[in-house]
Structure 1
Amino acid sequence: MAHSEFALVFIAGAVTMLATGLGALPFFFIETVSDRLNVALWGVASGIMVSASVFGLIFEAREYGGPVQIGAGLLVGAALVAVSRKLIHGYEFDPGRYESADFPTLVLVVGVLTVHSFPEGVAVGVSFAQLGLEGGVPLYGFSIPVLAVFMTVAISIHNIPEGIAVSIPLQSMGAGVPRMAWWAVFTSIPQPIGAVIAYGFVRLARDLLAFGFGFAAGAMLWLVIIELIPEGREAGAELPDNGNRVLIAGFIAGILIMLPLLFV
């Protein structure tokens, strides 16, 4: 496999990583993000992730394997995220604590970031499995799969609300926008790494493509269930109806945002 292919996949992962920093940009213009907007953004992020998992990864997986392979991938992806999160249950990422962390704390921080962000990088890497084949989007001499474009855009948009979530507590501590953007990007560092690892795996193990697509989809869907939606519900605790209607509206909007890419 050419080094240029791995470089391209790494760049795609880096784009999604840097998109997290965009979550700090609103704080150039406003001091606080309302609960309603916060809930809506978590809903949009959840809808984008579900849309990317189902309409992107799972639909693509059907081209390479049957329900057993796809189902096994879904279960393993979800189980890996569930087990990983259980091992670090109760630990919250705290940039201030990180700055003065001893080695055990640093290991925990890296673990939190990896569990949170790595599956999204895997999804990007897997989506590049058909890189170089006919029917892709031409770019700088590469034929990039439409699915890869879809996933890179989806994860990038999804990462913006996560950047906002990281920035809110930092803003209350008096941090400036550049520092908020840096810490937001830092939380997504595992994404380009995961993208390259996943791409190398699916290119070497072509017979496991259906499993690989299912694995990435299962990991992301489980993240929506155990992280994104609970985050949205927590942010809407003070709103009427606990913010459920806003969350659902955002979720639907997230799905609709990604639908046009299915027809590219």
Structure 2
Amino acid sequence: MGLLANLSLVFVAGFITALATGLGALPFFFFEDISDRWNVVLWGFASGIMLSASLFGLVEEGLAEGTPLEIIAGMAVGVVLVVVAHEVLMDADLDARDYEEADFKKLVLILGILTVHSFPEGVAVGVAFADLNLGTGPAVLGFTVPVLAIFMTVAISIHNVPEGTAIAIPLRAMAVPEWKMVWWAVFSSLPQPVGAVIAFGFVRIARRFLPFGFGFAAGAMIYLVLSEFVPEALDTGADLPRGGRPELLGGVVAGVLLMIPLLFV
């Protein structure tokens, strides 16, 4: 397979993860609202998936390719870049309510902020495809796809569902039509296929940076879980008994338990 074919497959994988975000808006076709308790569980579930994908997938694969120092260096850079990007955009407070009435300039700003949030997840997908058609793995559409690539695509797709729900909730309050809620949820993850293609191209050209790339993706995602997903869950569950912590912990455990079997597929 040529480079263009490989890039196309990686883009499709990243686009699948973006489409999965739209699934988070589908419950609003059938229900008026989603309880805080279930929202906390979903945030915990997403956190468990991302942590297991980062630790059992990216970090473990990185250690097989390089040294612990390379992984740690990559994780540090991943965290720093996410922090710096947040600092640059911190004055641009974004609410999903802004999506519906955004003009072109605001859409550019929104896309920039969403890139900070979802680009690292696309990078994780792209890095996971580094050995596409180079090693062993299941045959998919004539490609030899690494098991890690399938694992990461599934993990991030599942993780994107509660993110789509979080985006849809304020849009529901504005009486935005359900299909538009699905569209804006998918829009929020459009940087992921772009990030996947860029990361894949980079690690294929400069394979000596592959362990660093694994660490970068893992560090960025773990930081996002600890700095955004968990605080969001605790904020949502503030009025629940014990602050929603049992629901959060239950969601995290469920997410980890769901992803561990995929490591042995």
What TM-score do you get using the length of structure 1 for normalisation?
0.97
Q: Write out aligned runs for 1:211-230 (5 A).
A: 211-230=212-231
Q: Are 2:84 and 1:83 aligned? A: yes
Q: CA deviation at 1:97?
A: 5.3
Q: Write out aligned runs for 1:146-225 (5 A).
A: 146-225=147-226
Please tell me whether the aligned partners of residues 45 and 254 of structure 2 are also in contact (alpha carbons under 8 angstroms): yes
Please tell me whether the aligned partners of residues 234 and 243 of structure 2 are also in contact (alpha carbons under 8 angstroms): yes
Structure 2 CA distance for aligned equivalents of residues 176 and 97 of structure 1: 13
- Root-mean-square deviation (CA, aligned residues, Å) is 1.2
Structure 2 CA distance for aligned equivalents of residues 123 and 188 of structure 1: 14
Q: CA deviation at 1:218?
A: 0.4
Q: CA deviation at 1:159?
A: 0.1
Q: Write out aligned runs for 1:132-151 (5 A).
A: 132-151=133-152
Q: 1:67 to 1:34 in 2, by over 3 A?
A: same
Q: Which runs of 4+ in 1 moved over 4 A?
A: none
Amino acid at match of 2:101: E
Please tell me whether the aligned partners of residues 93 and 112 of structure 1 are also in contact (alpha carbons under 8 angstroms): no
Q: Give 1:57's aligned residue.
A: 58
- What is the CA deviation profile of residues 71-115 of structure 1, one whole-angstrom value per residue up to 9, with x for unaligned ones? 000000011111111221251233545634362x33321221100
Q: CA deviation at 1:179?
A: 0.7
Q: Are 2:98 and 1:92 aligned? A: no
Please tell me whether the aligned partners of residues 98 and 109 of structure 1 are also in contact (alpha carbons under 8 angstroms): no
Q: 1:17 to 1:102 in 2, by over 3 A?
A: closer
Amino acid at match of 2:189: S
108-117 vs 16-25, which deviates more? 108-117
Q: Are 2:129 and 1:112 aligned? A: no
Q: 1:222 to 1:216 in 2, by over 3 A?
A: same
Amino acid at match of 2:113: V
Q: 1:168 to 1:94 in 2, by over 3 A?
A: closer
Q: Give 2:42's aligned residue.
A: 41
Please tell me whether the aligned partners of residues 93 and 109 of structure 1 are also in contact (alpha carbons under 8 angstroms): no
Q: CA deviation at 1:164?
A: 0.2
Share of identical aligned residues, percent? Answer: 57
Query: Secondary structure of 2:201's match?
Result: helix
Number of corresponding residues:
263
Query: Secondary structure of 1:226's match?
Result: helix
The unaligned stretches of length 5 or more in structure 1 are: none
Q: CA deviation at 1:25?
A: 0.7
What TM-score do you get using the length of structure 2 for normalisation?
0.96
Structure 1 CA distance for aligned equivalents of residues 82 and 102 of structure 2: 28
Query: Secondary structure of 2:31's match?
Result: coil
Q: 1:213 to 1:97 in 2, by over 3 A?
A: closer
